[in-house]
Structure 1
């Protein structure tokens, strides 16, 4: 159960400083259907975080419990450091002529592949007895940020203090990662 709650909180923190909600806001404005974009984001997030769980199932038998904790710590620190980077405007996918559903699902899925939360889901799943809960929690946590972005639209999303949000997210992730790493090597 700890994987569910940890992933839920970390999913929200990671998405707060990411481009996925921004793209969701762009697509919701373009297609005038926030509900469709939110559903598409749910599919894209769940699919990508499920890939993190699959990867964890492959590597978990190879790792000691301490190594699993260090993997999570590394994922958290790297996520925090990458959050400090300035976000460029995501591709608006204006040339895509696949329709609202396909453009939203595929565009968001492509953006999410390899994102910081996918690596954190891998780390959480590797140390959990119920690894699939990491994907569920990550999806719900990420949707808790993506959904409001889609509802309020791009203009109001960008009106939020984005640099402060990224810095706060980065601090939480790095501090949590350092503490997890120190616990893994029994220094804390």
Structure 2
């Protein structure tokens, strides 16, 4: 259970700053079916996070506790760099004619593999509870996708996410450096 809450919190903070939520808002407006889009986005996040959990479970036996801590530190540092970056979606999937379920499912699935949340899930999964880490991250991702889809693109874009990106990026960077220094036994 100890991986559930950190995975939930990291995923929630990250998802508010990442592109999959914006894509869910865009597609909910386009199709006019926010619940369908939110469900599809949530399933895409479940697939990505459980794949990351499986990966963490497979590599965990080969890692020392310091290596696990260093992996988490790197995930936090890369997460910091990702959250400070642009929150704009480059492709609005305008040419995709797969409907209100498959378009968000595949679009968010592809987009989510390149985001920070699966890296956090992978790092937390090496601690011994991969399914709890995947479940916590998936619940948070679904919650954020649901809120984004219900609010729609215009309202979602009106929220001042820039400050959350900056503050979470600074927090992730500090935590990542702190854990990394401790993992390398430099303290």
TM-score by length of 2: 0.94
Determine the structure 1 residue equivalent to 2:64. Answer: 64
- Superposed CA deviations along residues 90-148 of structure 1, whole A, max 9, x for unmatched, are 41111111111111111111111131111110000001x22111110011122232211
Residues 1:119 and 2:141 aligned together? no
Determine the structure 1 residue equivalent to 2:148. Answer: 149
CA offset at residue 71 of structure 1?
Answer: 0.4
Runs of 4 or more, structure 1, over 6 Å off, are none
Gaps of 5+ in 1: none
- Superposed CA deviations along residues 147-180 of structure 1, whole A, max 9, x for unmatched, are 1111111001111112112111212211221222
CA offset at residue 87 of structure 1?
Answer: 2.7
Determine the structure 2 residue equivalent to 1:101. Answer: 101
Gaps of 5+ in 2: none
Determine the structure 2 residue equivalent to 1:11. Answer: 11
In 2, the alpha carbon distance for the partners of 1:137 and 1:69 equals 19
In 1, the alpha carbon distance for the partners of 2:186 and 2:80 equals 21
Aligned partner of residue 2 in structure 1, secondary structure: coil
Alignment RMSD: 1.4
8 Å Cα contact 1:72-1:120 kept in structure 2? yes
In 2, the alpha carbon distance for the partners of 1:90 and 1:146 equals 18
8 Å Cα contact 2:39-2:142 kept in structure 1? no
Determine the structure 1 residue equivalent to 2:76. Answer: 76
8 Å Cα contact 1:50-1:135 kept in structure 2? yes
Determine the structure 1 residue equivalent to 2:86. Answer: 86
8 Å Cα contact 2:52-2:119 kept in structure 1? yes
8 Å Cα contact 1:66-1:185 kept in structure 2? yes
- Superposed CA deviations along residues 3-45 of structure 1, whole A, max 9, x for unmatched, are 1000000001111111111000001101111111111111100
8 Å Cα contact 1:83-1:166 kept in structure 2? yes
Determine the structure 1 residue equivalent to 2:24. Answer: 24
CA offset at residue 187 of structure 1?
Answer: 4.7
Q: How many residues align?
A: 187
